[in-house]
Amino acid sequence: MTEMVYGSAPISAGEPILPKWWRTIDKWSLACIAMLFGMGLLLGLAASPPLAERNGLDPFHYVTRQAFFGGLALLTMVIVTMMPPKTVRRWAVIGFLISFVALMGLPFLGTDFGKGAVRWYSLGFASIQPSEFLKPGFIVVAAWLMAASQEVGGPPGKSLSFALCIAIVGLLALQPDFGQASLVLFGWGVVYFVAGAPILVLVLLAGGVLFAGTVAYNMSEHFARRIDGFFDPELDPRTQLGYAANAIQEGGFFGVGIGEGRVKWWLPDAHTDFIIAVAAEEYGLMLVLILILLYAVIVTRAFLRLMRERDPFIRLAGTGLAAMFAVQAIINMGVAVRLLPAKGMTLPFVSYGGSSIIATGIAAGMLLAFTRSRPQGEIGDILMRRER
């Protein structure tokens, strides 16, 4: 029956897991992710020793930790890519529920590490940021609900996913973490749009976001300070944005030379939120363009593969994950060049971070699992068979 609908399957039933995985995975995207991680280690060698020196640690302390967490992230990513979509969905739902409960417990058990926002659980030897793990899980859950709503007698998936989205955004805003809240809302909006959202609803949603931003500006000093700093025509050179902007200008096309950059000595977040400033100063515009190209290849190939996907759930979940991956990279680089207000968001696979890089590995693994080649045939062939 399957062959009558989808055509003959090119993969034999008894084929071993690894050869089957290697045949169906998007190797170009896999290679781009590996290159991003390698560049992250390279930039970590430049950006993290000054911070380690200020904290009285071994010069390569943060690089070693990044290699460990990054290796764990890549291993997790590969394991997830081997799972069928239904298994990915099950684990995503479980992960989402655990992350959501952890997010609700932050006001009582979390810590801010002196940064003014309670976003982490401190484990002593490491810290966990629940919102990082919640994002990919929520996108998969939202896609599942919306895909189910398209079936006859299905649940009101769009309404349920919207209620979950508002609850998550509210919890993140209380931390406050408006950057992650915006990213979650954007990811849900993309899934909703692909699922067939009316334009009027999207316009009303955009108006609601603008209204919420106005309220947050008037009620949150943290949020207002960042917005005011973004719109201030005079950029204070002693701020992180000022140091980052100067470093990017100094780098030019080919950079000042490996190890010759100075911004890493002044920026406390040079190895995380402003890693792109270190890249631009020491290696120049050329390395930044290579990074942008790698992200573009991953996202573009994901969209191209998802356009051929027949399963509504896979199409919705994959599109949401790819869009969120792309926007997080855009936000990080946009903040560094002052195109966007400061949001405290890492550059996927490049910035230092335990929770962020492992969660990114999980999200990338889900995306690669959803975009694996599957025997489903072309839509034109299916329609011709039905006409016969």
Residues in the chain: 388
- Determine the pLDDT at residue 13: 53
- Determine the pLDDT at residue 41: 92
The four Cα atoms 286, 288, 290, 292 give a dihedral, to 10 degrees, of -140
**Could you tell me what percent of the chain has a pLDDT over 70?**
90
d(CA 287, CA 331): 18
Q: Is 267 helix (H, G, I), strand (E, B) or coil?
A: coil
Closest CA to 157 of 185, 195, 186: 195
The first and second tokens of residue 188, run together, are 């849900």
Please say whether the beta carbons of 217 and 224 come within 8 A: yes
Query: If you average pLDDT over residues 134-162, what whole number do you get?
Result: 92
Please say whether the beta carbons of 120 and 69 come within 8 A: no
User: Looking only at Cα atoms, what is the longest distance across the chain?
Assistant: 75
64-120 tens-digit pLDDT: 999 999 999 999 999 999 999 999 999 999 999 999 999 999 988 888 877 777 888
The first and second tokens of residue 122, run together, are 């401190």
The first and second tokens of residue 10, run together, are 């090119």
Q: What share of the chain is helix, strand, coil (3-state, %, to 5)?
A: 70, 0, 30
- For residue 230, is pLDDT > 80? no
The first and second tokens of residue 85, run together, are 């979509």
CA distances from residue 258 to 26, 45, 66, 91, 281 in whole angstroms, order as listed: 33, 10, 20, 42, 9
Confidence of residue 236 (pLDDT cuts 50, 70, 90): low
Query: If you average pLDDT over residues 204-219, what whole number do you get?
Result: 80
Residues 6+ apart with CB under 8 A from 88: 80, 140, 366, 369, 370
- For residue 222, is pLDDT > 80? no
Neighbours of 249 (CB within 10 A): 10
Residue 58 identity (one-letter amino acid)? D
